[in-house]
Amino acid sequence: MRGDNLKFYSIAAAAITAACLLLTGGCTADDKTDSPKAQFTLSTACVTQSDIVSAHDSEEGGEIGGNDEQYDGQLAVPAHISLDRISITSEIYPPLTSARVTSVFGYRQNPVTGKFTFHSGYDLAAASGSNIYAMLAGRVATAKWDDGYGYYLIIEHEGGVQTLYAHCSELLAEVGDSVEKGEVVAKVGSTGNSTGPHLHVEFRMGGKRYDPEWVLGGIYG
């Protein structure tokens, strides 16, 4: 029975991936950027830069951790997830100088709980204690502990975009701090629901979470 379930989950994940490609024009990481420091001009017709609505509160301390939404038996995208391309027109600073992608945006079998869930960000494995850099200039909106995310930061940027950095061993910025692009804001760790040292990254706008592949795929892809 478990094998049948996993087979179905694989089909479901493939369907979600296909939907993402259809909605985003079938682009690959190579289509999005030519270099790690390229200018990103990503747009969407479906999202407006409205008041910031933080989506993390509903998931904090949850059964499946801060960065996964449990699969409910229906092939659907969770309400707080968007398959549109997030609007960012800026030069992104890589959050880690050296890392490898271990988990991407989409449905997966949660490595901690074993449940089929929607992973709302990008996981980058790196050495414990490595510097984590702010990808854009902004103001720290959240800096605290969560049972799922562990120690994490949310930085608000111009245009209503937020970036999240989770599972940190140490936070080096506080709520209200202004940070520059490329500033060290935290250290890589394995806090919260984690199986090893890594950085979980999210891009948010208007209460929705967007696929980091559109921004980071050319750097770590």
pLDDT at 35: 34
| pLDDT band per the 50, 70, 90 thresholds, residue 31 | very low
Q: If 0-12 CB within 10 Å is exposed, 13-18 middle and 19+ buried, where does residue 192 land?
A: buried
Other Cβ atoms closer than 10 A to 183 = 17
pLDDT at 165: 99
Q: Give pLDDT tens digits for 96-154.
A: 999 999 988 888 777 777 777 888 899 999 999 999 999 999 999 999 999 999 999 99
Q: Give pLDDT tens digits for 45-97.
A: 332 222 222 222 223 333 233 565 444 445 577 888 888 887 677 889 999 99
CATH topology of domain 2-220: Glucose Permease (Domain IIA) (2.70.70)
| pLDDT band per the 50, 70, 90 thresholds, residue 157 | very high
Query: Chain-wide mean pLDDT for the chain?
Result: 73
pLDDT at 110: 72
What average pLDDT does the segment 19-45 reach?
37
pLDDT at 123: 93
Give percent of the chain with pLDDT exceeding 70.
65
Please determine, for residue 169, whether its predicted confidence score (pLDDT) is greater than 50: yes
Regarding pTM above 0.75, the answer is no
pLDDT at 53: 25
pLDDT at 217: 83
Distance, CA of 11 to CA of 95 (rounded, Å): 32
* Strand residues in the chain grouped as ranges (E): 39-42, 68-70, 88-91, 100-103, 106-109, 116-119, 122-125, 131-133, 138-146, 150-156, 161-171, 178-179, 184-188, 198-205, 208-210
